[in-house]
């Protein structure tokens, strides 16, 4: 990305982080002995770092500010110019990390689960904020495996008129990245780490297991 090449490696519209803090945190996240509380905190912290780096080109508008000494023109991000859209469930774990950076961002939700046999995503919920089509939308899901859930969620956002969409995932498989880049070449995809591939059940290797279960303690 423009100005951040030392922190991310770019392949077309896919940006893979090369950041020591993220590497450190991901190594703990992957560990099967890391408990739910620490897992949740790490997902939030990694998302926060990713948001800082990936939004380095966000649009600013001039504003007049009065310091104790004089008036000056400064630059701010327009209120409510960003929306966060987590793919339920696991994407919920990333919302607070983006909110730390953009506290006024509205949140939309897209519910998807993968059919365990076919690996095809099933949409079960979609509620997006009014006016989302005018905002920069950050779609979040910690896992990008086959890319099916991400592609369907991106299609749903585009159907609602969204044009400026970015996606952030913590762990991605090459299969997922290739599919999203092929079907949605206009979307910038930011991933913390690119893993080796998928196993026969569609799980990322080495991965971290089932992100939703580890975030919410369901298994
Ligand atoms: C996981 C993950 C993604 C999806 C990735 O969700 O959070 O949404 O799988 O897989 P894909 O790239 O092959 O589509 P899951 O379906 O397990 O639902 P959950 O978040 O409710 O656990
Ligand atoms: N969903 C997960 O939670 N983990 C994977 O490895 C793949 C899909």
Residue 7 is predicted with a pLDDT of: 62
- Domain for residue 130, yes or no? yes
The yes-or-no verdict on residue 8 having pLDDT over 80 is: no
Q: Read off the pLDDT of residues 197-217 as tens digits, 9 standing for 90 and up.
A: 999 999 999 999 999 999 999
Query: Nearest residue CA, atom 18 of ligand 1?
Result: 113
* 209 exposure class (CB count in 10 Å sphere: 0-12, 13-18, 19+): middle
Q: Over the chain, what is the mean pLDDT?
A: 94
Mark residue 61 as left, alpha or beta (left: phi above 0; alpha: psi -120 to 50; beta: remaining): beta
Q: Read off the pLDDT of residues 13-68 as tens digits, 9 standing for 90 and up.
A: 899 998 899 999 999 999 999 999 999 999 999 999 999 999 988 889 999 999 99
**CATH label of the domain that carries residue 94:** 3.40.50.2020
Q: Read off the pLDDT of residues 116-159 as tens digits, 9 standing for 90 and up.
A: 889 899 999 999 999 999 999 999 999 999 999 999 999 999 99
> How close is the Cα of 34 to the center of ligand 1, in Å?
20
> 141 CB under 6 A from ligand 1?
yes
> 207 CB under 6 A from ligand 1?
no
Rounded Cα distance, 65 and 2, in Å: 28
- Domain for residue 141, yes or no? yes
> How close is the Cα of 113 to the center of ligand 1, in Å?
6
The yes-or-no verdict on residue 6 having pLDDT over 70 is: no
Query: Nearest residue CA, atom 3 of ligand 2?
Result: 210
Given the structure tokens 């080109």, which residue do they identify? Answer: 57
Tokens of 140: 């979040």
The domain in which residue 106 lies consists of 4-57+77-216
- Domain for residue 154, yes or no? yes
Q: The dihedral of CA 108, 114, 118, 122: what is its sign?
A: negative
- Domain for residue 98, yes or no? yes
The yes-or-no verdict on residue 81 having pLDDT over 70 is: yes
The yes-or-no verdict on residue 1 having pLDDT over 60 is: no
Query: Number of structural domains, the chain?
Result: 1
Q: What is the pTM of this model?
A: 0.94
- Tell me if residue 120 falls in helix, strand or coil: coil
Residue 219 is predicted with a pLDDT of: 87
């Amino acid at each position: 990305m423009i100005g951040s090449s030392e922190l991310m490696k770019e392949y077309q519209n896919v940006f893979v982080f090369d950041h020591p803090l993220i590497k450190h945190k991901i190594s703990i996240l992957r560990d099967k002995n890391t408990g739910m509380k620490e897992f949740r905190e790490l997902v939030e912290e990694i998302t926060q770092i990713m948001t800082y780096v990936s939004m380095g080109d966000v649009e600013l508008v001039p504003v007049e500010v009065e310091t104790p000494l004089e008036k000056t023109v400064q630059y701010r991000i327009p209120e409510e110019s960003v929306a966060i859209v987590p793919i339920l469930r696991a994407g919920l774990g990333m919302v607070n990390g983006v909110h730390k950076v953009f506290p006024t961002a509205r949140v939309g939700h897209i519910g998807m689960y993968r059919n365990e046999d076919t690996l095809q995503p099933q949409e079960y919920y979609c509620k997006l904020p009014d006016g989302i089509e005018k905002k920069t939308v950050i779609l979040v899901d910690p896992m990008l495996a086959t890319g099916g859930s991400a592609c369907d969620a991106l299609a749903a956002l585009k159907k609602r008129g969204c044009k400026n969409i970015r996606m952030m995932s913590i762990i991605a498989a090459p299969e997922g990245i290739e599919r999203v880049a092929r079907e949605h070449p206009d979307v910038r995809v930011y991933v913390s780490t690119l893993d080796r591939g998928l196993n026969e059940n569609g799980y990322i290797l080495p991965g971290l297991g089932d992100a939703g279960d580890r975030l919410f303690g369901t298994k």
